[in-house]
């Protein structure tokens, strides 16, 4: 066996301790090799690798990207239809303007060429004035119609742009960071994370690392005491720290479940006590805005946007200055809402 170190690399195991590494074929020739694996605790294992024969690279057909999913195909059809409607409205507007201009021109030519049909100059003048007023009235109506059509075209363009953004193919990103407990600002270890078909556990320091993942898949967070899975947005490469505490997130999950079931009175007990002193149950439920409906009751995951810790947070609704809150942006379809979590009296509360 060769004693020369050919390659050193870091890998992360999944929740069951399994890992894999795809080495470049140019790294090896036929023969025997020794593979040495060392975990975070310093424990080392060795295995033998024997390369009997190198085979030629196989050519495979590339898989269709997720761009060609059923949902994206439907959005693409909507986008094409919207463009077709915009084009038809534009053509119709152009046709109406040309037709109106043509009529006015023919009327003026006829008035100049056929004055004999008018009994007198006064009648001719009145006739011409009436025609002019009539054409002005048509012009005004046409102007209003043109404005309405332009508004429709503008709205159609906005909708088309939104559909275009939806059907864009996801990019490939590299995301790393740490799961941080907001109570002590320390890393949260042993949490299962997944993106696509890649599954890992956070290290002892709470660190994680994902390479070559799709931007639309996010990072799925699961933990034994967590009521539902959380999916953190990961749409660009870079460092991304995630604030995580199962007790805090379970309060959020319960509140969202009550929203979906329209049981807003059951959210009131989770309201931060200082805020609860300033609003009655009736006013709280009356003014509560929800982004979840009965269609979301059976959702097994909750999609999160940005999470951050805010110190000295001034809440204008309840006129409160709170020393520290965790702001969690929650996404549901085309809507999003920020929930504020506060730790006080040894438990988590919500401010909303």
Token pair listed for 210: 């994902």
The tokens of 64 are what? 């269709």
- C-beta contacts of 26-32 below 8 A and 24+ residues apart: 28/54, 29/54, 30/54, 31/2, 32/1, 32/2
**Could you tell me if 118 and 124 are in contact, meaning their C-beta atoms sit under 8 angstroms apart?**
yes
State how far the alpha carbon of 16 is from the alpha carbons of 13, 77, 275, in Å.
7, 43, 44
Give the closest residue to 173 by CA, choosing from 135, 211, 227: 211
pLDDT for position 337: 95
How far is Cα 128 from Cα 114, in angstroms, rounded to an integer? 12
DSSP type of residue 183: T
pLDDT for 304 beyond 80:
yes
Cα 264 from Cα 260, distance rounded (Å): 9
Q: What is the pLDDT of residues 76-101, one digit of tens each?
A: 676 677 677 777 766 666 666 666 66
pLDDT in tens, 122-170: 544 554 555 555 555 666 666 677 777 777 777 766 766 666 565 556 7
Lowest mean pLDDT among 127-131, 234-238, 250-254, 271-275: 127-131
Q: Which region among 156-160, 179-183, 228-232, 255-259 has the lowest average model confidence (pLDDT)?
A: 156-160
What pLDDT does residue 168 have? 59
Lowest mean pLDDT among 23-37, 47-61, 180-194, 282-296: 47-61
Whether the predicted pLDDT of 56 surpasses 90: no
Question: Which class is domain 172-351?
Answer: mainly beta
Write the pLDDT tens digit of every residue in 18-39: 555 555 555 566 667 777 777 7
Taking alpha carbons only, the member of 303, 64, 68 closest to residue 168 is 68
Angle subtended at Cα 326 by Cα 325 and Cα 329, rounded to the nearest 5 degrees: 130
Strand ranges for the chain from DSSP E: 31-38, 44-51, 172-181, 186-187, 192-195, 198-201, 207-214, 219-222, 229-232, 238-239, 242-243, 301-315, 320-332, 335-344, 347-351
| pLDDT score of 281 more than 50 | yes
């Amino acid at each position: 066996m060769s004693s020369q170190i050919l390659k050193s690399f870091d890998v992360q195991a999944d929740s069951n301790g399994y890992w894999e590494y795809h080495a470049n074929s140019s790294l090896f020739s036929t023969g025997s090799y020794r593979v040495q694996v060392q975990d975070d605790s310093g424990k080392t294992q060795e295995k033998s690798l024997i390369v009997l024969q190198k085979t030629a690279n196989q050519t495979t057909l590339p898989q269709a990207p997720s761009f060609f999913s059923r949902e994206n195909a439907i959005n693409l059809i909507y986008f094409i239809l919207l463009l077709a409607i915009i084009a038809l409205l534009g053509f119709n507007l152009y046709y109406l303007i040309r037709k109106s201009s043509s009529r006015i021109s023919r009327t003026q030519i006829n008035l100049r060429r056929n004055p004999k049909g008018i009994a007198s100059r006064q009648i001719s003048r009145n006739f011409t004035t009436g025609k002019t007023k009539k054409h002005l009235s048509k012009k005004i109506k046409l102007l209003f119609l043109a404005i309405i059509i332009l508004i429709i075209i503008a709205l159609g363009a906005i909708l088309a742009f939104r559909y275009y953004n939806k059907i864009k193919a996801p990019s490939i990103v590299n995301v790393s960071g740490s799961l941080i407990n907001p109570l002590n600002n320390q890393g949260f270890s042993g949490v299962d994370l997944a993106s696509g078909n890649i599954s890992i556990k956070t290290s002892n320091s709470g660190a994680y690392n994902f390479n070559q993942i799709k931007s639309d898949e996010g990072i799925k967070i699961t933990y034994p005491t967590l009521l539902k899975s959380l999916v953190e947005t990961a749409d660009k490469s870079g460092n991304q720290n995630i604030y995580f505490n199962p007790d805090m997130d379970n309060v959020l999950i319960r509140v969202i479940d009550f929203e979906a079931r329209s049981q807003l009175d059951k959210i009131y007990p989770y309201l931060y006590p200082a805020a609860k002193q300033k609003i009655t149950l009736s006013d709280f439920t009356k003014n509560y805005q929800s982004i979840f409906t009965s269609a979301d009751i059976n959702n097994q995951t909750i999609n999160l946007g940005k999470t951050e810790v805010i110190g000295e947070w001034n809440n204008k609704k309840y006129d409160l200055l709170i020393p520290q809150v965790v702001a969690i942006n929650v996404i549901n379809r085309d809507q999003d809402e920020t929930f504020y979590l506060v730790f006080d009296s040894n438990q988590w509360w919500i401010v909303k």
